[in-house]
Structure 1
Amino acid sequence: MQNLYIIGAGMGHIEDLTEYAANIIKKSDIVYGSVRLFEQYKILNKNIFAPKYSEIEETLEKEGADNISLLVSGDVLFYSIAKKITEKFKDKYNIELVPGISSMQYFLSALKIINHNIKAVSVHGRNISPLGYVSYNEYTFMLTGGENNAGKIIKAIYDAGLDYVYVYAGENLHCANERIISGNIKDMLDYQFESLTVLLIYNKEYVNTANNLRDSDFIRGKAPMTKEDIRWLSACYLGIEEKDVVYDVGAGTGSCAIEFAGYASEGLVYAIEKEDEAFELINTNKRNLKRFNVISIKGTAPEILHNLPAPDKVFIGGSSKTIKDIFKIVYEKNKFVKITVTAITLETLAASVDAFKDYNIEPDIVCINSAKSKKAGPYHMMMGNNPVYIITGRLYNEEES
């Protein structure tokens, strides 16, 4: 079987290689790497070629040499093409991953910050939001690039309300024009950054998502609010995962949206609300509780949903008149969408069950009867809450597939 060495070229400087990696390159029958790496690494092996990125897999399919090296930019173990290549060619090659000095190692070393409480993520060429990462981690390391350049990421974090975080930026690391700067995020807004820039965001006020929110954590005003026990159970029935996109339709004070945001800690929660006072309360509660991956949307469902990204989970806090229209739109966006509806009236319960039946889905229905203690002189009395129905189902219909 042929040997394929996938070698991390780090920041693209030949000194980022270990001696072990350099020796592998020297002894290889053929070496492949990007145009950016070609000039530096040809001193180790003259038989080096730079195929287009889109042609790498086809090239490896046809390659007949015994020992092949593939140079990849960055960390071979972190958001690298190495994962895809390893999975595809595991039966053709003996594959060895050879790490070098990554931009994260180099940058943190320069800052003298030890990697013990750092969340690392790449936003380079990926359609993801930085807001959850920064909200829920003390340190967040980011590889930026493409449309998600450093300037755009910094502005998005600042505009969301995280105006108190501290930013370290490193561009063209380990190159002659290297620049490392830092400051409060507001002071970083006017900088222009090169495409090869990494960021480290320090949030000393980060939120621990392990803590569920209590009703007393929220400012309520006159807006309706789903009680804490129903919020917690609804989150469980929805089965929210960390990268999910979630809709909260009819968000009220935002208590459910903000609760769900901790579960979707690397995703986004869209809180849709039409009433002015409630909409402002969502923003106030979001800022107070520092869960900035909640995006407040002013408008009426279902019309306002058309321009939102496809949801993974949808929570509807009682909306019997438009529930079928809401189901239709979210199903068109994602036929695997999971929906939970809460209802206190029999009319909303019936409308919810009927809406699920349109997709041949038998929903899971539970009725929650809860009571809270209330002090009455020397005694404690249990005061009953209104019974609440939680109706849950996934719209995907196997018969249609």
Structure 2
Amino acid sequence: MKKVYVIGAGVEGQEGFSGRALDLINQATRLFGSEHLLALFPKFSGEKVVVDSNASGLLERLNVEKGISVILATGDPLFFSIGRYLLRNLPGECLEFVPNVSSVQYAFAKIKEPWDDAVFISAEGRGIKGSVDRVVANNKAAVLTDKVNTPAAIAEEMIRRGRDGYAAYLCENLGTAEERIVVTDVRGLLENKAAPLNVLILIKEYEGGGDDYIPSLGIPDEEFSTTKHLITKEEIRVVTLAKLNLRHDMILWDVGAGSGSVSIEADSLLPNGRIFAIERNAEYVGFIKENLNRFNARHVTLVEGEAPTVFDDLPDPDRVFIGGSGGNLWDILEAVDGRLPAEGRIVLNATTLDTLTAANEFFDNAGYQVEVTTINIARTRPLTDYKMFEAYNPVFIVVAVKD
């Protein structure tokens, strides 16, 4: 097959074409691209072929046409553009790419912010939930939005999760006479109707004077927003995380997340993984949102609703922690068993013999390898004349590994 040249157009009015790009276009027999891009070359003497967003008929034309073919794209053809589609369908040796400045590069230049540490997200490919998952897992993100996944819709999802601690830069109609850059925050995006052509840049702003939270195991209980009996105690939490035997890229379900303390501590252990904190109680959901922001949890997604009903929308887990079941323990375990892979692991914290007995019965019937550890903790009472110990109720940590 003959060579096909894929040339990027810069932001109109700001970046022109290089000399090499113009030479290739002048030598071309035909020019492929959108109507907007083809209009940049009114004096082109060859054939102009309009290509729609689905690239309908493009491959067929490229395979049969003779002469030099040039495809016009916006910015960098390999950045959320037609380049990926062409590489999937044509031999790499037949393609040559001539990139230009992308809208994202231009947007970062306008707000005077380095972009080498940013993640780039196309909302069209990921949807709202997938896009926000990526945003909250990073300090800096550039989002290419669409008609459905608008900046306001992204903001609504971030606020719903309690992850709205970001500065927002809404960069619209870049390089045109209608160019506008709105500097605001996540909640401010709700009040701004964005132009269809926009780049949304989100940069994390840390609380507490900008001090980063340094991850560590065994966060003191009093640092979490919670009620007295809701939290998994510090020492129990550390043993529980050890029993989960987490690997850096796993998916963890935290069922009955309560204050979110287990999810938050697991966050630093899963730098390439994902954690879903599942909670049905509205009051507890408020605590989780506060704690996710306070500890800058990167990989935790709050899932509001009843287990096991909410499991259908989640990816299959590698590990499952059950801190509370709301009276649905058997149903939860059956649903988890249907999604957990071989060698997957469930860790369940039981504070009553009833829960311990029910869990053991299920795991025995389902053929799991089971280990139970009893943890008894006593702490000295602060601010007393004598060092007296205050004992806590024992906790049974059940570890079940699927054959």
Counterparts in 2 of 1:90-239, with a 5 A limit?
90=91, 93-129=93-129, 130-205=131-206, 211-216=215-220, 217-220=223-226, 221-225=228-232, 227-233=236-242, 236-237=245-246
Please give the alpha-carbon distance, in whole angstroms, between the structure 1 residues aligned to 2:45 and 2:196. 29
1:29 deviates by 3.3
1:14 and 1:41 in contact (8 A); partners too: no
Matched residue SS, 1:311? coil
Q: Which residue of 2 aligns with 1:309?
A: 313
State whether residues 249 and 272 of structure 2, in contact with CA within 8 Å, keep that contact through their aligned partners in structure 1: no
Distance 2:292 2:254 in 1: 14
Q: Which residue of 2 aligns with 1:347?
A: 357
In the alignment, what sits opposite 2:262?
A: 256
1:56-86 Cα offsets, whole Å, 9 max, x none, are 5642673343543222334323233322321
Displacement after TM superposition at 1:38 (Å)? 2.6
Q: CA deviation at 1:192?
A: 1.4
The one-letter code matched in structure 2 to 1:232 is L
Q: CA deviation at 1:291?
A: 3.4
Secondary structure of residue in 2 paired with 1:127: helix
Displacement of 1:258: 3.1
- For residues 348 and 366 of structure 1, what CA distance do their matches in structure 2 show? 14
**Distance in 2 between residues matched to 1:14 and 1:41, nearest whole Å:** 16
Contact 2:29 2:67 in 1 (8 A): yes
Deviates more, 1:132-141 or 1:337-346: 337-346
Aligned to 1:391: 400
Cα gap change, 1:86 to 1:69, in 2 (>3 Å): same
SS of 1:31 mapped into structure 2: strand
Q: Which residue matches 1:73?
A: 74
Work out the CA distance in 2 between the residues paired with 1:78 and 1:188. Answer: 25
Mapped to 1, the partners of 2:346 and 2:5 lie a distance apart of 48
For residue 174 of structure 1, report the CA deviation from its aligned partner.
0.9
The letter for the 2-side match of 1:102 is S
Contact 1:13 1:40 in 2 (8 A): no
Does residue 89 of the first structure (1) align with residue 96 of the second (2)? no
Structure 1 pair 370/330, CA: closer, same or farther in 2 (3 Å)?
closer
**Comparing 188-197 and 323-332, the one that deviates more:** 323-332
- 8 Å Cα contact 2:74/2:102 also seen in 1: no
Residue 269 in 1 paired to residue 279 in 2?
no
Instruction: Give the direction of change, closer, same or farther, for the CA distance of 1:112–1:43 in structure 2 (3 Å limit).
Output: farther
Asked if structure 2 preserves the Cα contact closer than 8 Å seen for 1:142 and 1:198, the reply is yes
- Distance of aligned partners of 1:286 and 1:234 in 2 relative to their CA distance in 1, 3 Å threshold: farther
SS of the equivalent of 2:23 reads: helix
Cα shift readout 1:323-372 (whole Å, capped 9, x = no counterpart): 5533554677x686966332556535524534754xxxx66x55567798
Aligned to 1:398: none
Counterpart-to-counterpart distance in 1, 2:212 and 2:58: 42
What count of residue pairs does the alignment treat as equivalent?
378
Specify whether residues 386 and 330 from structure 1 end up closer, same or farther in structure 2 by C-alpha distance, changes over 3 A only: closer
Partner SS, residue 117 of structure 1: coil
**SS of match in other structure, 1:347:** helix
Distance change (3 Å), C-alpha of 1:83 and 1:240: same
Q: Do the aligned residues in 2 keep the contact of 1:231 with 1:259 (CA within 8 Å)?
A: no
- Compute the TM-score of the two structures, normalised by the length of structure 2: 0.75
CA contact (8 A) 1:31 1:69 kept: yes
Change (3 A) 1:198 1:320: closer
1:75-131 superposed Cα distances (whole Å, 9 cap, x missing partner): 32323332232133226x522222111011111112222224323222234224344
For residues 10-89 of structure 1, the aligned pairs below 5 Å read 10-11=10-11, 15-41=15-41, 43-44=43-44, 46-52=46-52, 53-56=54-57, 58-59=59-60, 62-65=63-66, 67-89=68-90
Question: What are the equivalent positions in structure 2 for 1:370-389 lying under 5 Å apart?
Answer: 386=395, 388-389=397-398
The range that moved more, 26-35 or 226-235, is 226-235
Instruction: Give the Cα–Cα distance (whole angstroms) in 2 for the partners of residues 235 and 31 of structure 1.
Output: 57
Cα contact 2:217–2:238 (8 A) shared by 1 = no
User: RMSD of aligned C-alpha atoms?
Assistant: 4.1
One-letter amino acid matched to 1:350 = N
